[in-house]
Amino acid sequence: MTHAAYLALVDELLEHNRRYYVDSAPTISDVEYDRKSKQLDQIEAANPSWVVAWSPSQRIGHAPISEFVKVERAVPMLSLDNSYNLDDLRAFYDRVVKGLGSETPIFSVEPKIDGFGIELTYRAGELVLAATRGDGKIGEDVTANARTVHGVTGKLREPIDLVIRGEIYIRKDDFVAINAARVAANEEEYKNPRNLASGSIKQLDPREVAKRPMRTILYEVVDGETVARGHLESLALAKRVGLPISEHNATATTWDELAATIESWQNRRDDLPYELDGLVIKVDAFEQRAQLGTTSKFPRWAIAYKFPARQVTTIILDLEINIGRTGAVTPVAILEPVDVSGTTVSRASLHNWDQVARLGLGKGDRVLIEKAGEIIPQVLGITESSGGARFATPTECPVCGTTLERAEGKVVLACTNRLGCPAQQLRTIEFFASRGQMNIDGLGEKIVEQLVSAKLVSDVADLFDLTAAQLEKLERFGKSSAKNLIAGIAEAKKTATFSRLLSALGIANVGRTVGAPIAAKYGSLRALRDAVAAKDSAAFVAELCEIEGIGEIIATAVDAYFRDPAAAALVDKLLARGVDPIEPVAAVNTNGNLVGKTFVVTGTLSKPRPEVQKDIEAAGGKVVGSVSKKTNYLVAGADVGQAKTEAATKNGVAIISEAELNALIAGS
């Protein structure tokens, strides 16, 4: 490998990034891309002095900094004047037309992404500065962080000078996923994608920033070697050299066209993957912009059109109590249906009971609710109290009557009647059948509900007693669908592995990763059951703890499950029905760069975790579910939970990034 070949590989990968993030037209597969970027990591590890600032490897993020350097602008960055309705906008249109005299303007109408403003400076095609707006005159240098943002290329396709502004944002689906992971880890949810994006870009540790799935769309060429005479032409140039531009910029000339374009957005704003807080209307021609000039605060040639607020008030009709598979009892507000910019909202999440108490909610209250994109509506507070009784935190499970408990230090309230509670039974059966668990084809949520309410099934073992004749009698079932479901259940029984069965049982903290070494040690459900019976609790927990990746918490949960009379009866019932798959013995790879090393993989990575696990195993390494002294590495992806990193630090386990893992696999 020569230095020139290294630079060519950097350029090649940059081009693939631009094709993916700018043109939405990748020309190689993800696998091929990963292979090339692994190769790049290897070369860089072997030749550290070669690494260039624009290398795609630099988007992983590097050493933290102590503060952001201030950058002063010669010409301050202006913000935009706002309009909130068509009358305001008409006044702007008339001012522009009057200001231009005999010339007619062409307007660009663009989505106003609700993110965080950024200004990128490229010199001879290289990214040299990414600065925040700050107070307009003085911003902050966030270049290292901006490099981690998808779409911010380190180098343009052409060696031109360019200063361009845009928005950094987090997509709605990514935001929902991040919050779901926070909820699962019992951590407080982030408020909205904008706060998360701006909070992330202002972190001092770029490695933390790299964990957030941030993207950018650029919208205003401020300076540079462009021969464009107008705004849209200058954006087309930016796109050509490899920068992401909105695909939704439209033009309008007459007032009617402008008004119609604005109207058309009312129904489209939810269709975009990111949140919009309005539109921006700009005069296109640079000469006309110059003619119109600026006030001390705003350009006279552009204006923001803010969408109407998505906060509305409605009445709380009731409080529904939801019971999850593992017994978590959560409140949901049932609302008088209300229209929030085109969609009807009739339920809102209240997250947890502390939130209900904090807001002091009661039946009949008028409350302010907010809906952002497809994100679940939130109750913000009471605008008019009904004066009636306030909702109390339940003390008993509304379905089975068991006293609710709160695990130490956790906000979640739970029903501990794990197998006896009908609500949990339903969720447990759904989970058992689902993809990734027992994979029973054709057994979705609705059918499980139907089977449970017809009293054909009350636990997962009952599934294996079902007959086609029983199913045919049910609504929505015909001869062939009944036969298919029975065949699906038989097939699942035949093809399952013990580790999947173990995970499908839904024992606390025992998923596929944790289940695998336990399954490997005992080989079958029957053997595990017998092993529990042969020892007392303390001895069995100690035995489990000897397995790599199994700690006290998991071991205790497994022990408790098999000693619980209801669970033990269920296990016997499954065995009696022949549900006892064996665990295939995995071929151990003895030559690879990771032989003898144990990994825990956590957080969001560039590909699904099972694939990362496969890579590790292919290199001879082992993946376990929880961090212990026996673990060698914690591979931390985006949004890694604090508990895992704390456990790693405590146990002296090295925390590495996905790129570092790839370097280990490659042996560099």
User: What span, in angstroms and rounded, lies between the C-alpha atoms of 377 and 313?
Assistant: 12
b/e string for 205-243 if b means 16 or more Cβ within 10 A? ebbbbbbbbbbbbbbbbeebebeeebbbbbbebbbebbb
Q: Is 299 in the site for ligand IVH (CB under 6 A)?
A: yes
Number of residues interacting with ligand IVH: please give it, by CB under 6 A: 15
CB of 113 to ligand IVH, least distance (A): 5
CA atoms within 13 A on the CB side of 114: 21
Torsion sign (Cα): 200, 202, 208, 211: positive
Whose Cβ is closer to ligand IVH: residue 229's or residue 297's? 297
User: What span, in angstroms and rounded, lies between the C-alpha atoms of 142 and 145?
Assistant: 5
Q: Hey, how many other C-beta atoms are within 10 angstroms of the C-beta on 92? A: 19
CB of 196 to ligand IVH, least distance (A): 16
The binding track of 521-550 with respect to ligand IVH, each residue x by CB under 6 A or -, is ------------------------------
Phi/psi of residue 50, nearest 5 degrees: -80, -25
| Identified binder of ligand IVH from the candidate list 107, 122, 190, 219, rule CB under 6 A | 219
Q: Which span sits near ligand IVH by CB under 6 A: 47-55, 197-205, 298-306, 366-374?
A: 298-306
Q: Which span sits near ligand IVH by CB under 6 A: 74-82, 388-396, 497-505, 634-642?
A: 74-82
Q: Which span sits near ligand IVH by CB under 6 A: 299-307, 423-431, 448-456, 644-652?
A: 299-307
Number of residues assigned to the chain: 668
Q: Are 216 and 151 in contact (CB under 8 A)?
A: yes
Q: Are 134 and 304 in contact (CB under 8 A)?
A: no
Whose Cβ is closer to ligand IVH: residue 81's or residue 270's? 81
What would the two tokens of residue 479 be?
A: 């001869």
Indicate the residue type of 630.
K
Q: Is 280 in the site for ligand IVH (CB under 6 A)?
A: yes
Q: Is 78 in the site for ligand IVH (CB under 6 A)?
A: yes
CB of 280 to ligand IVH, least distance (A): 4
b/e string for 501-529 if b means 16 or more Cβ within 10 A? bbbbbbbeebbbbbbbbbbebbebbbebb
CB of 68 to ligand IVH, least distance (A): 18
Q: Which span sits near ligand IVH by CB under 6 A: 73-81, 123-131, 436-444, 636-644?
A: 73-81
Q: Is 635 helix (H, G, I), strand (E, B) or coil?
A: strand
The binding track of 474-513 with respect to ligand IVH, each residue x by CB under 6 A or -, is ----------------------------------------
Q: Which span sits near ligand IVH by CB under 6 A: 78-86, 190-198, 454-462, 498-506?
A: 78-86
Whose Cβ is closer to ligand IVH: residue 139's or residue 551's? 139
The binding track of 80-119 with respect to ligand IVH, each residue x by CB under 6 A or -, is x-----------------------------x-xx---x--
User: What span, in angstroms and rounded, lies between the C-alpha atoms of 304 and 290?
Assistant: 19
**Which stretches of 1-102 are assigned E, i.e. beta strand?**
70-72, 82-83
Q: In what order do the strands lie in the sheet with 162-170?
A: 126-132, 116-123, 162-170, 214-224
CB of 115 to ligand IVH, least distance (A): 7
Active site residue 36: no
Instruction: Give the residue at shortest CB distance from ligand IVH.
Output: 117
CB of 279 to ligand IVH, least distance (A): 8
CB of 296 to ligand IVH, least distance (A): 13
User: What span, in angstroms and rounded, lies between the C-alpha atoms of 597 and 223?
Assistant: 52
Q: Is 581 in the site for ligand IVH (CB under 6 A)?
A: no
Q: Which of 249, 188, 186, 178 is nearest to 214 (CA)?
A: 178
Widest CA span of the chain, in angstroms?
Answer: 95
Whose Cβ is closer to ligand IVH: residue 134's or residue 324's? 134
| Identified binder of ligand IVH from the candidate list 167, 365, 462, 583, rule CB under 6 A | 167
User: What span, in angstroms and rounded, lies between the C-alpha atoms of 614 and 267?
Assistant: 44
What would the two tokens of residue 27 be?
A: 């020309």
CB of 24 to ligand IVH, least distance (A): 19
Indicate the residue type of 347.
R
| Identified binder of ligand IVH from the candidate list 220, 462, 580, 639, rule CB under 6 A | 220
Whose Cβ is closer to ligand IVH: residue 64's or residue 293's? 293
Q: Are 310 and 370 in contact (CB under 8 A)?
A: yes
User: What span, in angstroms and rounded, lies between the C-alpha atoms of 485 and 489?
Assistant: 6
What would the two tokens of residue 261 be?
A: 């374009």
CB of 261 to ligand IVH, least distance (A): 14
Catalytic residue from among 112, 155, 172, 493:
112
Q: Is 130 in the site for ligand IVH (CB under 6 A)?
A: no
- Which 324-353 positions form the footprint of ligand IVH (CB under 6 A)? none
Whose Cβ is closer to ligand IVH: residue 36's or residue 202's? 202
| Identified binder of ligand IVH from the candidate list 209, 302, 518, 627, rule CB under 6 A | 302
Indicate the residue type of 606.
S
Q: Which of 86, 83, 87, 81 is nearest to 301 (CA)?
A: 81
Which are the catalytic amino acids?
112
Contacts to ligand IVH by CB under 6 A:
78-80, 110, 112-113, 117, 133, 167, 219-220, 280, 299, 302, 304
